[in-house]
Structure 1
Amino acid sequence: MGSHCLGSLSEGLLAFWHSYRIPLLIVLSTTIFLVQAYRKFPSKSKTPASSSTPPSPRSSSPEKHEKISVTNSRGSPEKAGPKVVSGPKRVVGKKPVKTGPPVAREPLSFIQPMIFFASLTGTTERYAKVLQEDLRDAAQRRADPDNRERGLLPPQLHDISYIDFDDFFTSAPKAPLNSPGTRYFYCLLIPTYNTDSILNTFLGHLDETHHDFRIDTGSLSTLAGYSVFGFGDKEEWPTEEEGFCSQAKELDHWMAKLTSKKRAYPLGFGDVKGNAEQSLKEWTHGLQDIFFDILEHGGLGEGVPGSGDPLESDEEDLDEEEPSDNNAKSRKRNKPQAVMDLEDIKMNSGNQAASPLPVDFTTAGKPPAPENTPKEMVPKTSPTYNALTKQGYTIVGSHSGVKICRWTKSALRGRGSCYKYSMYGIKSHLCMEATPSLSCSSKCVFCWRHGTNPVGTYWRWQVDPPEMIFNGVKEGHYKKIKMLKGIPGIRAERFTEAMRIRHCALSLVGEPIFYPHINQFLDLLHGEHISSFLVCNAQHPDQLQNLQRTTQLYVSIDASNRESLRKIDRPLHRDFWERFQRCLDILREKRDQQRTVFRLTLVKGFNIDDEVVGYANLVEKALPCFVEVKGVTYCGTSSSAGAGLTMKNVPFYEEITEFVLALNQELERRGLKYGLAAEHAHSCCVLLASERFRVNDKWHTRINFDRFFELLEKEKADGTPFTPEDYMAETEEWALWGNGGFDPSDERVYRKRKNKAQVTEE
């Protein structure tokens, strides 16, 4: 009975559903829609009225967002982030303003003075050390014994030639973790030179930093302050308008911009031939007062003399204005570069006497606009000219030079030639040391030119024709040879031989391939059967690539890694390591066309310890014909170049041989075919040679010069190529490794300390 009733009820419901299912579904859908619409109505009423302009992304009003509840697979609610319902995100050109609480800045507690200087002759370095001592004494004298948490720290001294500019002048150093209240203060002591120097590179860096859109224009504004003191020569430049302390003025200009006008004390001037020391003392006393004012008040404050008040530093606000005649020289970098018409270029190209446009050898920045009248590299009225001539150089034209080597005098007296004779067959009294470019792109710590030659990264000077240079250096060389005729011990037959130059070592000073017409100069040498030994510093790959055949091509390899090369060569190019690597690749390409040589100058404390493997990597990369390892020569004045070298940096010959044996062993381990070929113990020099120059178990490192010129002339006539093996000659027995390398036909003279007692050895 019960089952019958249930069956009748289910049949009735089913019949009702089939009859009324469409109306029921419509009613149910409508109900659900109304419920959802009702639930959404309150949230819509809270949003602002719609507008054609979307709300600003800077607004952090909570009405912009609603929190959405999300249910996971287990049914538990999950929190979701805020959902923007006002439209897509709008990208604007300014960063959103942070509305949170400002970050509290640590109050100033200590000032760390940083003294930066540049010095070619050592004068500015000496003054910088005087300033360092004065500030150190002031810090001790005015220290508060009751307050150990505030004061002036001992100053730090930095040579601009050694530092990486990015470490100090792209952004300011950060305070140490253990002393967050420490602020840095820059003291800059800068001389002014009339030739290119490291200062040009430094000022160029500041210029680029200020105009680099990726870097804040006030990137050094976290400094406590800065001040500049300049040294100049009023005899050469009597007034500021004529150039007195012009580079110091330019440095002060850029520092004011990069620090957001934090000049703490006015720019000081000192005349190196007058009151420089007294002026520096007065400037230092004023600077000390500023230090303690900053410590007392927590900053420069308003109204402090030199604090960047607009009335004093108004010229820093005139970027867009044309500079006046007085400061046009110091601010010439701001001038737009001239645009040259194609027809002008065509007309200029037909003018053979016109100087070539400046060629930029660095990727650090753009070269200045071409000047209508390029200046001389070494004018006769310049201090550089006087310094070089006092050192024995004969200046040829405006940028070339020649000098007699001490080994030339030694060979004329029958007392031996240099290592080039034992290893390659070059007699020193037949060799001329010259250069077509006195300028260099490095300031090597071991350079014996005393830092007096000009430096630069691109050629922008007057260009002398190669014929004038060639005739000038020959004339200068012969004049110096004739001056030696009265020296006791000069052999008549060698004096006669010396009046016919047979070899030219282009390694005197500067960078020979810097000269725009170096290939024409080489043609003039080879035209008179004068061999060419050219040395370059691996910083000009484009010039090296275009260099034509030389008798022997040297590349100075003064370090095995980037950091060591930066410290020892002090290159001006910011991409110096990349240039160095490109030069090695080029040298590998040239190894089958001409004799290539790695020149390693070893300096204790710089490039010897733990660098054998690194040097072996470089040899493996370039595969030079020869690896020439030589100890540095100390000439007594290296410290004047800011390097601080002493006799302790000069390796003993035993240390040189130990290094060479280790390098040779590493090359053998790698399967590179090199061997110990020759030596010249007197010069602390050892030669590693490729097995290419070992024939019938005998080394052939010397050069058959007559054969070289014969092959060269044939190549020019009909294009017949030749290789380094085609003009090699057998090495003399006395020059081989283990035999010392002194020519037995000469007389060796030993000197015993200061009494100069001489002992001869036949």
Structure 2
Amino acid sequence: MLPEDSGVAPSAVSSVTHYAVELWHRHRIPIILTTLFALGVLRIYVHLTEEEKRELLVLPKIYADDQQDDRIAAKEEKPALEAAKKKVADTSEDDKKIGARQKKGPKRIKGDATKKNGTRITETPTGEPHKIQVLVFYSSLTANTEKIAKQFTEELGESLKEMDAFLTPQVLDLAEADYDEYFITPPKTESGPPIDYFYLILLPSYNIDSINDNFLEHLQETHHDFRIDTSPLASIVGYSVFGFGDREGWPTEEEGFCFQATQVDKWMAKLSGRKRAYPLGMGDWKKDGKERLSEWQTGLVDVLTQIEQNGGLGEGVPGSGDPIESDDEEIEDDGEVLFDDGTGANSKSSGSLEDVEDIGRIMANGKSSATPIAIDFTTEGKQPRKKATPAPPKDMVPKDSPTYNSLTKQGYAIVGSHSGVKICRWTKSALRGRGSCYKYSFYGINSHQCMETTPSLSCSNKCVFCWRHGTNPVGTTWRWKVDPPDLIFNGVKENHYKKIKMMRGVPGVRAERFAEAMRIRHCALSLVGEPIFYPHINEFLEMLHKERISSFLVCNAQHPDQLAALQHVTQLYVSIDASNKESLRRIDRPLHRDFWERFQRCLDILRERRFRQRTVFRLTLVKDFNLEDEVEGYADLVEKGLPCFVEIKGVTYCGTSTSSNAGLTMANVPFYQEVCDFVVALEKALLKRGLNYGIAAEHAHSCCILLASDRFNVDGKWHTVIDYDKFFNLLEEKGPDGDFSPEEYMGPATPEWATWGNGGFDPRDQRVDRKGRPIEVS
């Protein structure tokens, strides 16, 4: 109600109110739309005004002129291929880009390290091939490194003379080099043919202030500078680092040996987008520095030769040359986000793989992926830079090579150019009556009559528990000279007997066993490398069997074609080092990009052969790698391959694998009880799947236990021992490709002392401790 003294008649107020309501109902839709439109215009105006002010608050990015501004690309929606072509446009186009960046201002880049601009364009739009310039950087306080660097550069130049793609290598002192010119962006060519760069860094480590500290500080600041792309050096062909140190002052890497070279290698991996073309090399000034540098140089020449032939480092996935093999170089201590796929989730690995040669096609089609393209440095490229006359095959292990010297120091006898033989420690033990290996307990093999050899020292894996710590050659395809099988067969026998004869003066050697040892009865093709990698492995096996020498062949499940072509062997092993793809990548560190598919194909082949050959899964348990929580996964693999036997063995510690960055220590060696617990759990998992496997035998001294299929359980007793004479009779009767089953050469029952719960130590022998004192077994 209106107050009485308002002076307004109630009837007039009612009339105005009624008119306003009628007007609102008549025009409410145009009024609402007009209001919304005005508010929208106002919001757009405010947003644009704030955006301009914000971009003027930071300094413009005036370097790294080969990078595209993501904001400009998003607004203009230009195809990625056009952006790539602009990188090789004239200087006027570069000026336009710089001006655009100065107008817009920089942004903080949190992107992945594997940039699409890291792919080398091997030819210009006019078809002119790029030249490659190798730059050798060094630092030196006493001039020693300077002399070595200059001599190294001269020798490298001689090696590259025959390669048209390479210019004469240049040597640069880090104390004089302009870091901004070389380590923020690669140098730019003013005239002449376009040049790509390959960086080599020779760096001694000092515990005093030196140019190294300034260099490391620059690399670190460049990586963390938000104005600079995460991988500003991604356009280089590749890089590698070699460090010099002093083991007297710093015995190990953990204690500082070559610590500055290690840091440079890490930061260069980040800045180049994982373009590590060859592993970090390290050498001791006073001992093996020259030898290690020579070995490193040899490997570099091989890499540069592949670049000459293929136009780049290669293609592939994490797990070969990728830093995730050891410690993931993409992880930052400060928790910085390294890759944002637009969904708010962080990612360390790509999840999708593309060939290097397909990057241009993908860009041309306008395809983009939320995940980065992974680059691998190990496999052969598909599209060569140009047709070149193939070089003649070379020796896998030349006699004047550091690899040859390293292997011979470890007790190997190198036969021909790619084979080796070595006397096993169990052979020495058996000759002295101190026990035989698990093969005697499980299969009846006399250790002192067993020859351990390999026709191929090369392997396609770099396992963390490898006995050789990475000193043997590696490769995915056979690219070396091939020795005839008779040369290898005669050579390994001769060298094995020589090593046996050297034992006759050792105290404790038994005369009767020494006489028996001069007749080889068994051959373990498991020394190092990959035996089926040898192109004539079947001919070599025939020579063994012709002299009635049994064959125990071990492969790493990475060569299914060779495995499918393999003829009869006495027992066929396949190493099953992990139960899933990621674990296998971490433990075996395979070179093949399709390692998991190869692994699965090998299991299928073994399943098909289980009624024609004795097949064995060999599980090597490594604590903190594949021992915990993988029983079910292993049971799935056994169900897939259905082997005759499953050997479970704890890893043998052979020294810390520092050369392969594996970091394996005694802490990774499981106790025997842990292995026993694992085997019991695996047996239960197999029984749960309806697979009839049981624990047949053990050899506690080797930390090894045998699971066997019930096919080898006769009348309640396990029969894991082999009747070797029967095997050779069947082989002679039906031929190397003949059809006969493992049960046909099944031997007598497994000895009671070797069965589960009895230890498995040969009762004929005497156990001793490390000092040779007898151990009383209760």
Coarse TM-score class (shorter-chain normalised) = 0.5 to 0.7
Q: Cα 1:102–1:428, aligned 2, differ >3 Å: closer, same or farther?
A: farther
- Tell me what 1:345 maps to: none
What is the total number of aligned residue pairs between the two structures? 512
- Tell me what 1:727 maps to: 745
Map 1:477-626 onto structure 2 (within 5 A): 477-626=496-645
Deviation at residue 697 of structure 1 after TM alignment: 1.2
Partner SS, residue 241 of structure 1? helix
- Tell me what 1:409 maps to: 428
Partner SS, residue 664 of structure 2? coil
8 Å contact kept, 1:230–1:267: no
- Tell me what 1:51 maps to: none
RMSD of equivalent CA atoms? 4.6
**Could you tell me which amino acid in structure 1 is paired with residue 505 of structure 2?**
G
Q: Cα 1:521–1:307, aligned 2, differ >3 Å: closer, same or farther?
A: closer
Map 1:735-746 onto structure 2 (within 5 A): 735-746=754-765
Deviations 1:646-685 (A, max 9, x none): 1111001100010000000111111101111000000010
**Could you tell me which amino acid in structure 2 is paired with residue 449 of structure 1?**
R
- Tell me what 1:747 maps to: 766
8 Å contact kept, 1:503–1:530: yes
- Tell me what 2:186 maps to: 263
Deviation at residue 690 of structure 1 after TM alignment: 0.3
Deviations 1:366-393 (A, max 9, x none): 4987834101111111111111011000
8 Å contact kept, 1:439–1:511: yes
- Tell me what 1:465 maps to: 484
Deviations 1:284-321 (A, max 9, x none): 52352465578789449xxx9x9999xxxxxxxxxxxx
Q: Find 1:181's aligned residue among 93, 108, 125.
A: 108
**Could you tell me which amino acid in structure 2 is paired with residue 262 of structure 1?**
T
8 Å contact kept, 2:122–2:311: no
Q: Cα 1:206–1:454, aligned 2, differ >3 Å: closer, same or farther?
A: farther
Deviation at residue 698 of structure 1 after TM alignment: 1.0
Q: Find 2:215's aligned residue among 286, 294, 301.
A: 286
Deviation at residue 747 of structure 1 after TM alignment: 1.0
Q: Find 2:659's aligned residue among 636, 640, 647.
A: 640
Map 1:176-215 onto structure 2 (within 5 A): 181=108, 210=120
Map 1:61-80 onto structure 2 (within 5 A): none
**Could you tell me which amino acid in structure 2 is paired with residue 429 of structure 1?**
H
Partner SS, residue 239 of structure 1? helix
Map 1:199-238 onto structure 2 (within 5 A): 210=120
Q: Cα 1:593–1:228, aligned 2, differ >3 Å: closer, same or farther?
A: farther
Partner SS, residue 508 of structure 1? coil
Map 1:38-53 onto structure 2 (within 5 A): none
Deviations 1:40-67 (A, max 9, x none): xxxxxxxxxxxxxxxxxxxxxxxxxxxx
Partner SS, residue 750 of structure 1? coil
**Could you tell me which amino acid in structure 1 is paired with residue 683 of structure 2?**
N
Q: Find 2:305's aligned residue among 321, 329, 332.
A: 329
Q: Cα 1:486–1:761, aligned 2, differ >3 Å: closer, same or farther?
A: farther
Partner SS, residue 749 of structure 1? coil
Structure 1 Cα separation of the partners of residues 234 and 439 of structure 2:
60
Structure 2 Cα separation of the partners of residues 437 and 250 of structure 1:
36
Q: Cα 1:622–1:493, aligned 2, differ >3 Å: closer, same or farther?
A: same
Structure 1 Cα separation of the partners of residues 440 and 57 of structure 2:
68
8 Å contact kept, 1:478–1:499: yes
Deviation at residue 207 of structure 1 after TM alignment: 12
Percent sequence identity over aligned pairs: 61
**Could you tell me which amino acid in structure 2 is paired with residue 512 of structure 1?**
P
Partner SS, residue 605 of structure 1? coil
Deviations 1:352-371 (A, max 9, x none): xxxxxxxxxx9875498783
8 Å contact kept, 1:504–1:532: yes
**Could you tell me which amino acid in structure 1 is paired with residue 155 of structure 2?**
T
Deviations 1:422-480 (A, max 9, x none): 00111110000000000000000011112100100000110000000001111110111
The structure carrying a bigger strand percent of its residues is 1
Structure 1 length-normalised TM: 0.60
8 Å contact kept, 1:268–1:280: no
Q: Cα 1:569–1:308, aligned 2, differ >3 Å: closer, same or farther?
A: closer
Deviation at residue 394 of structure 1 after TM alignment: 0.5
Deviation at residue 742 of structure 1 after TM alignment: 0.7
Structure 2 Cα separation of the partners of residues 726 and 445 of structure 1:
38
Q: Cα 1:720–1:443, aligned 2, differ >3 Å: closer, same or farther?
A: closer
- Tell me what 2:775 maps to: 759
- Tell me what 1:240 maps to: 156
Structure 2 length-normalised TM: 0.59
Structure 2 Cα separation of the partners of residues 444 and 757 of structure 1:
35
Structure 1 Cα separation of the partners of residues 609 and 531 of structure 2:
18
Structure having the higher Rg: 1
Is 2:589 the counterpart of 1:666? no
Q: Cα 1:696–1:108, aligned 2, differ >3 Å: closer, same or farther?
A: farther
Partner SS, residue 384 of structure 1? helix
Deviation at residue 239 of structure 1 after TM alignment: 2.3
Partner SS, residue 426 of structure 2? helix
Structure 2 Cα separation of the partners of residues 655 and 445 of structure 1:
20
